[in-house]
Copies of this chain bind each other. A is one copy, B any other.
Amino acid sequence: MKILITGGAGFLGRRLARKLLELGSLALDGGAPQAITRIDLLDVVHADGLTDPRVRTLVGDIADPAVLQQAIGADTRAIFHLAAIVSGQAEADFDLGMRINLDASRALLETCRKLGHKPRVIFTSSVAVYGGALPETVRDDTALNPQSSYGTQKAIAELLLADYTRRGFVDGRALRLPTISVRPGRPNAAASSFASGIIREPLNGEAAVCPVGAGTRLWLLSPRAAIQALIAGCELPAEAVADRVPINLPGVSVTVAEMAQALREVAGDEAADRITWQADERVERIVGSWPGRWDTARAARLGLKGDRDFAEIIRAYMADDLPR
């Protein structure tokens, strides 16, 4: 089985590839596991650090149909479509967000449609599709009302994926990811970048600024659980999404103050005291429009799991990613 990961040079893409290589197979239709014979990693930059002979890296612009035609063949059985312009950048550069988050997603679906082989497409959507006046607990059938261009573009890509799936052009699954925390590496242009930074930087002995109020509630998922959910989501049968293609993944609901307190408990005062607080109105507006909790009954029924609590998320980061 051949698999494509878009955004394959990103941290989630590379981690997903490593996990798939480790598993060695996927069971797509309730049938026997099929061996993964190749993983293509497509991104604008070269995906480093993967030397397995099954891996091929492709460098190109995902919004360019010629690049997609090169990346997707009639033998591409599953596509994890992770490539995206993150929320803060899509808000700052409207055209870039539209080009990658919307046009490239559509071009990917069109490439599959033309090939006619109906591959499994796993699309990563986001908390950011929600917004406005929200119920305390968001459900899979709560109306989308995005308050950012990123959220709008993700919501549109979900709708396209659902229609392409309904028409039989692809076999799609949209997974709405909570905010991923703790991301390794450096801060990025996501409005939610701080949700990793306020844990990661203190654990690395560095200061971190929290740009939102201590009472801001977030809905979080660890990279480890996100990868598990992406793979489990890929293996879901078509019946699981016959009624509704997007699935809200489980998360942990915490305030920023509770995150700081968990850091204090897991790593001590010295680490926790490295967080300082300085409000950034731009970040607060975007992040504040996202739900802090959603009903995960459907995800649970489908066997999709999240983390137990935020302390577990910190410990997973320390085990998986903390530089030694």
Spell out A's residues near B (CB within 8 Å). 94, 132-133, 140-147, 149, 152, 155-156, 159-160, 162-163, 166-167, 243-244
* A140 neighbours in B (Cβ, 8 Å): 143
Contact across chains for A166 and B141 when beta carbons are under 8 A apart: no
Contact across chains for A143 and B144 when beta carbons are under 8 A apart: yes
Smallest beta-carbon distance A132→chain B, Å: 5
Smallest beta-carbon distance A148→chain B, Å: 8
So how many copies of this chain end up in the complex?
Answer: 2
Smallest beta-carbon distance A123→chain B, Å: 15
Known contacts A133-B243, A141-B142, A243-B132; is-contact A147 B166 (Cβ 8 Å): yes
* A141 neighbours in B (Cβ, 8 Å): 133, 142-143, 145
Beyond A145-B244, A147-B166, A156-B160: 4 further Cβ-contacts under 8 Å? A132-B243, A133-B243, A143-B143, A159-B159
Contact of A159 among B132, B133, B152, B163 (CB under 8 A): B152
Closest B-chain residue to A98, C-beta based? B106
Smallest beta-carbon distance A156→chain B, Å: 5
* A143 neighbours in B (Cβ, 8 Å): 140-144
In the docked arrangement, what's the CA distance between A251 and B162, Å? Answer: 28
In the docked arrangement, what's the CA distance between A144 and B94, Å? Answer: 24
Closest B-chain residue to A154, C-beta based? B159
* A149 neighbours in B (Cβ, 8 Å): 163, 167
Smallest beta-carbon distance A99→chain B, Å: 12
* A159 neighbours in B (Cβ, 8 Å): 144, 146, 152, 155-156, 159
* A133 neighbours in B (Cβ, 8 Å): 141, 243
In the docked arrangement, what's the CA distance between A147 and B144, Å? Answer: 17
In the docked arrangement, what's the CA distance between A315 and B55, Å? Answer: 70
Best-surrounded residue of A140, A141, A243, A244 (most CB of chain B within 10 A): A141
Smallest beta-carbon distance A203→chain B, Å: 37
Ranked 7 nearest A-B pairs via Cβ: A152-B163, A141-B143, A143-B143, A156-B156, A152-B159, A156-B159, A132-B243
Can you list 10 A-B contacts with CB-CB less than 8 angstroms, sorted by A residue number? Answer: A132-B243, A133-B243, A142-B143, A144-B159, A145-B244, A149-B163, A149-B167, A155-B159, A156-B159, A159-B159
